[in-house]
Chain A
Amino acid sequence: MLSGVLKLGSKAIAWLTAGLGTVAALAVAIILGAFEATPDQQYPQYPNNETVDAGQWRIKPLSARITSKRAFGVSPKDGQRGVIFEAELTNLTARSSKDYYGVFHLPSLIDAQAEKPMIYMERDASLLPDLHPGMTEKMAYIWLVPANTAPSDTVELLVTAKTYKARDNLTGSPGWYNDHTAGIVRIPASTEAEEQ
């Protein structure tokens, strides 16, 4: 049809089709967000000791320390260190939730070698309690990491947030979806002296 109008050879038509096809495929990929995961994003750094809203949670990073001693219910084994991070958390949603479990992450290099965090309420050292709407509590996150990968003077943590959808696509129920890294916390860490 096109060759009839423009009087082009079949080779030229083939090149033209291939070129247009590539451009169209790239355009569709960009529209669908295929390049959103490229790692050139700079996350905002959250100030320490100040409150910041991150999705479902209002967070206030307080302190961090590296220890080889028992803290709450967690004892580091030989060759391990406990990374203890304290923060104030306020549930901004309308329902009690334990979803603060995934809010703070170590950077992926350390996280790959760390054990899953244990999270305690400072008030009475209860493990992973529900946090209720509007009730601010001080929580302690504890990761066990190999001693050689433990951060020395500054603990860096990625803050994961979710976004609210009034209706999800499958069931139409409201909820918090789409994990994304909202910011980063860099907090000076004290190291507790090792007992010999």
Chain B
Amino acid sequence: MKRRFGNIIALCLAVALLYGMQHSKPHYMDLTGPIPVYGKMHETVRARLFNVTVDDVAFARELTVEGFGTSKTLTTSGVWVVVSAQLEATTASNVVAQASWVGPTGLQYDSSDRTGYVPGLPPHAIDPGLPKPARFVFETLPDQVSGATLILSNQLFPRLDSQVRIAIDRFKKFNDGQPLILDSFDIRRPMAVSGN
């Protein structure tokens, strides 16, 4: 009788302990999630497999792209965001495939796939020692511009790998903080290279 009672007490304790751990300990996805590398614009941010420097952010109502010899003009219900950056691999050639524009409230705008395959847009194949200009194109809403973060990683869902998070704070804006939105942006426009 005493032994059975002891068993029941042990079982109850185990249930309580496991319940407490389930609610207080981080979950599997949190433990194996991306490892953030925070950075600012105009400085080199170092991830495990690539270094990135964001030079410029521009906003436009229309975007002109050229792929396979034809140019097309893309409209949007929000604004186009064009991020110009320098990418360089650290130790081995790899691909930076994932870019997202995360608004101040955490809404995540993945890089637009409406452009189709266009040279200079992701996925970016990069090599060590060969820095390369790279552009990222997003569609977002005008209220998702100020206080936004640019997120870059090699894979679509990085797990236990670095994820670059760059605060976007320097862009052409009016006195009230609203960004300057161009009528159109031509993706063929050459990039200003920083440091040269």
Residues of the B chain whose Cβ atoms lie less than 8 Å from the Cβ of A135: 76-78, 139-141
Flag A121-139 by CB within 8 Å of B: 1 or 0 each: 1011010011011111100
Taking the closest CB of chain A, its distance from the CB of B15, in whole angstroms, is 18
Residues of the A chain whose Cβ atoms lie less than 8 Å from the Cβ of B113: 126, 129-130
Which partner residue on chain A sits nearest B30 by CB separation?
A172
Per the bound structure, the CA–CA distance linking A145 and B49 in Å amounts to 49
Known: A96-B108, A133-B109. A172 touches B27 (CB 8 A): yes
Contacting B at CB under 8 A, from A105-155, are 121, 123-124, 126, 129-130, 132-137
Contacting B at CB under 8 A, from A149-184, are 167, 171-173
User: B93 in the interface, Cβ–Cβ < 8 Å?
Assistant: no
Q: Is the CB of B109 within 8 A of A132?
A: yes
Contacting A at CB under 8 A, from B1-58, are 27-30
Known: A133-B107, A135-B139. A171 touches B78 (CB 8 A): no
Q: Is the CB of A95 within 8 A of B108?
A: yes
Residues of the B chain whose Cβ atoms lie less than 8 Å from the Cβ of A129: 112-114
Q: Is the CB of A130 within 8 A of B112?
A: yes
User: B110 in the interface, Cβ–Cβ < 8 Å?
Assistant: yes
Residue in B29, B74, B140 whose CB lies within 8 Å of A124: B74
Q: Is the CB of A173 within 8 A of B29?
A: yes
Taking the closest CB of chain B, its distance from the CB of A86, in whole angstroms, is 16
Known: A135-B139, A137-B77. A96 touches B109 (CB 8 A): yes
Per the bound structure, the CA–CA distance linking A9 and B61 in Å amounts to 88
Taking the closest CB of chain B, its distance from the CB of A169, in whole angstroms, is 11
User: B106 in the interface, Cβ–Cβ < 8 Å?
Assistant: yes
User: B71 in the interface, Cβ–Cβ < 8 Å?
Assistant: no
Q: Is the CB of A96 within 8 A of B110?
A: yes
User: B72 in the interface, Cβ–Cβ < 8 Å?
Assistant: yes
Residues of the B chain whose Cβ atoms lie less than 8 Å from the Cβ of A172: 27-30
Q: Is the CB of A126 within 8 A of B114?
A: yes
Taking the closest CB of chain A, its distance from the CB of B94, in whole angstroms, is 23
Flag B57-84 by CB within 8 Å of A: 1 or 0 each: 0000000000000001011111000000
Taking the closest CB of chain A, its distance from the CB of B19, in whole angstroms, is 15
Binding site for A on B (CB under 8 A): 27-30, 72, 74-78, 100, 106-110, 112-114, 116, 139-141
- A-B pairs, 7 with minimum CB distance: A172-B27, A96-B110, A173-B29, A133-B107, A95-B108, A126-B114, A129-B114
A124-B114, A130-B114, A172-B30 are known; give 17 further A-B pairs, CB within 8 A: A96-B100, A96-B108, A123-B74, A124-B72, A124-B74, A126-B113, A126-B114, A126-B116, A132-B110, A132-B140, A133-B107, A133-B108, A135-B139, A135-B141, A171-B27, A172-B29, A173-B27
